[in-house]
Structure 1
Amino acid sequence: MNVFIRVASSFLSSLLISFTLAYINTVPESERVPNTYYISFSDNFIAPFIFLLLIYIVVAVLYSIEVDNKLRTMKVSAFIREMIAALLYIAGGFITVFIFFGLLTGLSYKGFEIGTILYGGAFALVYYVVIRMLQFVCYTYIQKQRK
């Protein structure tokens, strides 16, 4: 069930982020200039969705399993554990963006703009929040079924 939650959160995180980015980047019909090409909402949505889903399933699921296994053995309060987990997920997002853009751009300086790396941390944090929400919902549902 734990892997199912992680894969489902990969899908939901990709959906949420892609929808948000498509909404921000789409120009409304009333503001469009004649004889100018604009990318549609669906085109703005599909490409980031596929790219994010691939990254989440390949990297984030494996990384989150490893982080949760390491955090499970820590003898600290639940609040501190959650804060450490959030920071580890953000660091994992930074590292993932650094690696993927390094592979795409050949480690040139242009590929490592700070804004891009910050997006990686933010997207990793979204994934972490979605995982925790799905875990809460699933475990609450299971507890209700047992009663």
Structure 2
Amino acid sequence: MLRRLLSALLSSIIFCSILAYFQHTPIAERQPNTSYMSFSSLVFIYLIYATPVYVLGGIPCSILIDTITKRIFRRSTILFYLVNIICYTLAGMLLALLLFNVFEIEAWIWGGAAPALLYYVVYLLVRLLIRKPQSINYPWEESGKKMG
């Protein structure tokens, strides 16, 4: 669960930074007597809106998708990852439809599918980098078998 939360926060920061990069107007291109926001202000404002969507919408969808696909596929194969990519894309598009009432295909892709796929990639990287060390024996484990 901690990996999912970390993935959601990192994905939110990356996605908001990308959005702010495209919306930011460089100083050289600014018109006089016009108000512009700094890059960091844009990132912060986008984070206020995107982080709850990632945490409250993305994490439950991720748990649901992983539960379903792990029951269907016993081992991680290429087909497993393809099905996950499709499921994460559809979940992101569904969240965009429910939260933002979006019906345009371009808005579905940039507002739903791209953030969901970004979350999936970041989650895979976090899962790869943060693993439970095999040499640690926790009190609730006995000789490598989980109790309960």
- Structure 1-normalised TM-score? 0.84
CA distance in 1, matches of 2:76, 2:67: 16
Total equivalences in the alignment: 134
Q: Which runs of 5+ in 2 are unaligned?
A: 137-148
Aligned to 1:105: none
- Moved segments of 4+, more than 3 Å: none
The answer to whether residue 109 in structure 2 is matched with residue 118 in structure 1 is yes
**1:130 corresponds to which of 122, 131, 134:** 122
* Equivalences for residues 1-147 of structure 1 within 5 A: 3-75=1-73, 78-102=77-101, 111-119=102-110, 120-139=112-131, 142-143=133-134
The answer to whether the Cα contact below 8 Å between 1:101 and 1:112 also exists between their aligned partners in 2 is: no
Partner deviation per Cα, 1:40-68 (whole Å, 9 max, x = no partner): 21221112112111001111101111111
Q: Which runs of 5+ in 1 are unaligned?
A: 103-110
Structure having the larger proportion of residues in helix: 1
Q: Aligned partner of 1:14: which letter? A: S
CA distance in 1, matches of 2:133, 2:77: 21
The answer to whether the Cα contact below 8 Å between 1:18 and 1:49 also exists between their aligned partners in 2 is: yes
Q: What percent of counterpart residues are identical?
A: 29
Question: Aligned-pair distance for 1:114?
Answer: 1.8
Aligned to 2:144: none
- Structure 2-normalised TM-score? 0.83
What's the RMSD between the two structures over aligned residues?
A: 1.6
Partner deviation per Cα, 1:65-111 (whole Å, 9 max, x = no partner): 11111111124651110110011000000000000013xxxxxxxx4
3-state SS in 2 of match to 1:142: coil
Partner deviation per Cα, 1:98-144 (whole Å, 9 max, x = no partner): 00013xxxxxxxx42222111110110000000000001112x725x
